[in-house]
Structure 1
Amino acid sequence: MDFILKILSILSPFIVGVSIAFVLNIPMKLFETKVFYSLDRSKTPALRKLKRPLSIAATLILVFGFLIGLTLFIIPQLIESTATLVNAVPGYVQSLETLVNQYINSSELLNALGNEILMAWKDFIQVGSKFLGTSLAGLLTMTLGFTTSVVNFGLSLVLAVYMLASKEKLILQTKKVIFAFFNKSTAAQILHLGEITDLAFYRFIAGQFTEALIIGALCFIGMSLLALPYPLLISVIIAVTSLIPIFGAFIGTVPAAFIIFIIDPLKALWFIVFIVILQQFEGNIIYPRVVGNSIGLSGLWVLLAMVIGGSTFGLLGMLLGIPIFSILYQILRTIVYKRLHTKKIVKIQ
């Protein structure tokens, strides 16, 4: 197992590159078929060859433009909310002081409390100094790990672009290897399994983005009706985090509720109640229908796939459990119908 984990660690940039290429291939195909398709009719070979590079460039511009725009849109709002919080802190402190003066009138109790706080502060300084001395090495290791992750991601992105640029050639080479080492029947089954896998993950990703847009739109409408602050900003946060199946909206609730709490704590409470209701509606009605129908699974099987995947492999299992379950479901259905056909069983009531 250690050897396998070591190999996977070495190949991690390649694995991440394949995943990035698979996701970016979806908008790239749209650019090729909907935007730059006219280049195929060009009489100049050089112009025909430009369709793929232009599609890749447009895809990268779209993705990074979306991420940069999202960052530039969210950060100013967070800065504004933080400034509001900083300005409100003196008022909170004054209110707390008034409350303390109202309910604590004993000077002896205040003196004892002050001495306890002073002793606790001294202990805190001693522990903090020891922690600082022992954590420098950990901080250095964390910095090196972060740098390595950035470098690996950059390498994965370069590999993904190369795979997109020459995907037909890579697919052809893979088919040659499969037919070289397996007989024709087995090779055909492997390729059929590859087609099923590709279609299942493609539909899952497309359905996931569709579901995120729906939940973001519903969040914006609900917040507007409830007169909650920053409806557009928070709806974008909820939509982006909803790319994580089922529980993504809860993840986005934490920073969103914090932003609203700074402005109005009562409205933050109403927002949390609204998100809980919206999450129940999304998890039990929208998600099984949108994502489940896109990959050919009913709502029951979608929920079962998430439960099994999440219980076995955590968040990664929840992300991959649904398309993998869809693949197994289609394979099992094919086997069942084939056996029924062999037994000449046409209809069962």
Structure 2
Amino acid sequence: MKMKPEKNQVTWAITIFFLSIAIMLAYYVIFNGISVVKTLSKVIDSLSGIIIGVIIAFVLIPLTDGIERKIVIPIYHMRGYDISRSTNANSKKRKQARKISVTITMIIFLFVIYSLFRIIIPELIDSIKQIVRKFPEYEKQINEESQLLFESNSIEVQNFINSQLDRSYVSLSEFLQEKLMPLVPSVDSFFKMASQGVFSIIKVLFDLVVGLIVAIYVLNSKEVFSTRGKKIAYALFREEFANEVVGGFRFIGDVFEGFVGGKLVDSVIIGIICYIGCVLLKLDYPLLISVIVGVTNIIPFFGPYIGGAIGAMLLLITPVKALIFLVFIIILQQFDGNILGPAILGNSTGLSSFWVLFSITFFGGMWGIVGWLVGVPIFAVIYAFISRITNILLSKKELSVDTNDYDNLAYIENKEYKTLTDEHNDKYNAHKEVGMVTKLYHNGRDKVKNVVEKIKKKDKPEEK
């Protein structure tokens, strides 16, 4: 007689198996956290070319779709091929159209990159040469300013400043001899570092080539990835859960495509406006400063401050120009934060300023500059996932998913919401003394809410 396990027993066995694996993984992560981080860093480093390619693809997807929809498909339609709809009869023509669109996209992308380097790099080199060439003048001006400062002060102040300079010189000498000199590499280690630098350059070039190849493949086959992913989801999970998985990945794609692409466009526009403003204000090194401001603007929240500080330091030899630049940057960033940024990015992340700051700090601490760039969309996905799970669990308990309903909430009893302003609600430390203004505000808001609910009930058609 064969023993056949019941369905509940199989479910419990699978649950216990996966729970055991989760506990072992948690134990390993807790007690071997450093090795886990190192392993993840190695994995990310080994996949850097693929990551670069995926990022490039996300940036170029809108351009590819626009070229295909507005140029290539109409040309095929004029020739008598309706490839706007996916059918077996026109599958070859659709693949041809996609390859043509991707080819045009990559040509435009490479041409833009080449043009930027062809125009910007010589100007940047000239700006750096000017800074180096004017350095003796800067030094002379600083000495003159220091001399005037000494002459305009008393002997006691000069003696104090000289003593502080002597003490700083002694500290600097000790630091150079005891701390820095032992770190100076020997001949063997120097060649080793040089070889590592060469290999690093080769790896960067290799990652860029791999990234371009991956970007072409992703752009050419993005529907294939989506189709196979959906197939796997519906094969592994229940229909309802599979719908959630597919919708979640669609949301991830929209967030990354909207944020990364929009942020790059926003930063390019800010860099161009900054260059025009620096030229009109007759500031030094306009192109160098504009490139710095545009690049750092990619970093959310902290980027504008970093770019403004670096630009002001370059102009600091002329304090008036540095001050003018800081005022200009503040105005420019207000324009970006309140007008240009929302117009381009919209609400692509759905995060408040606090969570943007948190995500930049957290992921920046983990991954450095890369964390600054991708931390916001990654956390936006995590935030949306937690919000979605929370709403699902509340719906199953037949509780409200509206966040505003929990603003003045004291506790819930038998699915009835008790407010903090109700003097009779004294359970769970809910009763507390509130100010007259706060009490009037909450009471007024509750009355308005009740009136709105009554109006909605009256507007509903009566069931016959």
Q: Verify same fold: TM over 0.5.
A: yes
User: Is 1:15 paired with 2:55?
Assistant: no
> Residue 211 of structure 1 contacts residue 286 of structure 1 at CA under 8 Å; is this kept in 2?
no
* One-letter amino acid of the structure 2 residue matched with residue 35 of structure 1: I
Taking structure 1 as the reference length, the TM-score comes to: 0.73
> Residue 267 of structure 2 contacts residue 297 of structure 2 at CA under 8 Å; is this kept in 1?
yes
* One-letter amino acid of the structure 2 residue matched with residue 31 of structure 1: I
Which residue is equivalent to 1:271?
325
Query: How has the CA–CA distance of structure 1 residues 287 and 324 changed in structure 2, closer, same or farther, with 3 Å as cutoff?
Result: farther
More helix by share: 1
The superposition leaves residues 152-174 of structure 1 with CA deviations (integer Å, 9 ceiling, x where unpaired) of: 33123212211221222222222
> Residue 246 of structure 1 contacts residue 283 of structure 1 at CA under 8 Å; is this kept in 2?
no
Of 188-197 and 318-327, deviating more is 318-327
Aligned residues: 329
Which residue is equivalent to 2:356?
306
Structure 1 position 329, deviation (Å): 4.9
Which residue is equivalent to 2:125?
79
Which residue is equivalent to 1:178?
233
Query: How has the CA–CA distance of structure 1 residues 338 and 150 changed in structure 2, closer, same or farther, with 3 Å as cutoff?
Result: same
Query: How has the CA–CA distance of structure 1 residues 252 and 337 changed in structure 2, closer, same or farther, with 3 Å as cutoff?
Result: same
Quote the Cα distance in structure 2 between the aligned partners of 1:137 and 1:27.
44
Query: How has the CA–CA distance of structure 1 residues 132 and 155 changed in structure 2, closer, same or farther, with 3 Å as cutoff?
Result: same
Gaps of 5+ in 1: 104-112
The superposition leaves residues 119-140 of structure 1 with CA deviations (integer Å, 9 ceiling, x where unpaired) of: x8xx99x959963523221221
* One-letter amino acid of the structure 1 residue matched with residue 376 of structure 2: I
Counterpart secondary structure, 1:131: coil
Taking structure 2 as the reference length, the TM-score comes to: 0.58
Structure 1 position 190, deviation (Å): 0.8
The superposition leaves residues 193-213 of structure 1 with CA deviations (integer Å, 9 ceiling, x where unpaired) of: 111111122221243235325
The superposition leaves residues 241-294 of structure 1 with CA deviations (integer Å, 9 ceiling, x where unpaired) of: 3222223334444664566568x5642443244325544x26863587446633
Quote the Cα distance in structure 1 between the aligned partners of 2:142 and 2:377.
53
User: Is 1:197 paired with 2:246?
Assistant: no
User: Is 1:66 paired with 2:112?
Assistant: yes
The superposition leaves residues 71-123 of structure 1 with CA deviations (integer Å, 9 ceiling, x where unpaired) of: 222222233334434543555577689899999xxxxxxxxx9xx9xxx8xx9
Quote the Cα distance in structure 2 between the aligned partners of 1:230 and 1:100.
26
Counterparts of 1:271-290 in structure 2, within 5 Å, are 271-276=325-330, 278-279=332-333, 281=334, 285-286=338-339, 289-290=342-343
Provide the aligned C-alpha RMSD in A. 4.2
Counterparts of 1:46-65 in structure 2, within 5 Å, are 49-65=95-111
Query: How has the CA–CA distance of structure 1 residues 127 and 333 changed in structure 2, closer, same or farther, with 3 Å as cutoff?
Result: closer
- The structure 2 residue matched to 1:24, chosen from 22, 43, 60, is 60
* One-letter amino acid of the structure 1 residue matched with residue 185 of structure 2: F
> Residue 312 of structure 2 contacts residue 325 of structure 2 at CA under 8 Å; is this kept in 1?
yes
Structure 1 position 221, deviation (Å): 5.7
Quote the Cα distance in structure 2 between the aligned partners of 1:71 and 1:330.
38
Gaps of 5+ in 2: 1-35, 82-89, 151-165, 406-448, 450-464
> Residue 238 of structure 1 contacts residue 249 of structure 1 at CA under 8 Å; is this kept in 2?
yes
State, as a whole percentage, how many aligned pairs show the same letter.
Answer: 29
> Residue 275 of structure 2 contacts residue 290 of structure 2 at CA under 8 Å; is this kept in 1?
yes
Which residue is equivalent to 1:150?
205
Query: How has the CA–CA distance of structure 1 residues 130 and 48 changed in structure 2, closer, same or farther, with 3 Å as cutoff?
Result: closer
Counterparts of 1:95-114 in structure 2, within 5 Å, are none
Query: How has the CA–CA distance of structure 1 residues 278 and 127 changed in structure 2, closer, same or farther, with 3 Å as cutoff?
Result: same
Counterpart secondary structure, 1:295: coil
* One-letter amino acid of the structure 1 residue matched with residue 62 of structure 2: I
Quote the Cα distance in structure 2 between the aligned partners of 1:333 and 1:5.
30
Query: How has the CA–CA distance of structure 1 residues 98 and 157 changed in structure 2, closer, same or farther, with 3 Å as cutoff?
Result: closer
* One-letter amino acid of the structure 1 residue matched with residue 210 of structure 2: L
Quote the Cα distance in structure 2 between the aligned partners of 1:140 and 1:10.
19
Structure 1 position 229, deviation (Å): 4.4
Counterparts of 1:317-336 in structure 2, within 5 Å, are 317-331=371-385, 332=387, 336=391
Structure 1 position 192, deviation (Å): 1.0
- The structure 2 residue matched to 1:242, chosen from 284, 297, 309, is 297
* One-letter amino acid of the structure 2 residue matched with residue 131 of structure 1: P
Counterpart secondary structure, 1:50: helix
Query: How has the CA–CA distance of structure 1 residues 30 and 94 changed in structure 2, closer, same or farther, with 3 Å as cutoff?
Result: same
User: Is 1:34 paired with 2:70?
Assistant: yes
Quote the Cα distance in structure 2 between the aligned partners of 1:20 and 1:14.
10
* One-letter amino acid of the structure 2 residue matched with residue 295 of structure 1: S
Counterpart secondary structure, 1:36: helix
The superposition leaves residues 8-47 of structure 1 with CA deviations (integer Å, 9 ceiling, x where unpaired) of: 4444433333333222222211211223231341346776
> Residue 292 of structure 1 contacts residue 302 of structure 1 at CA under 8 Å; is this kept in 2?
no
Which residue is equivalent to 1:207?
262
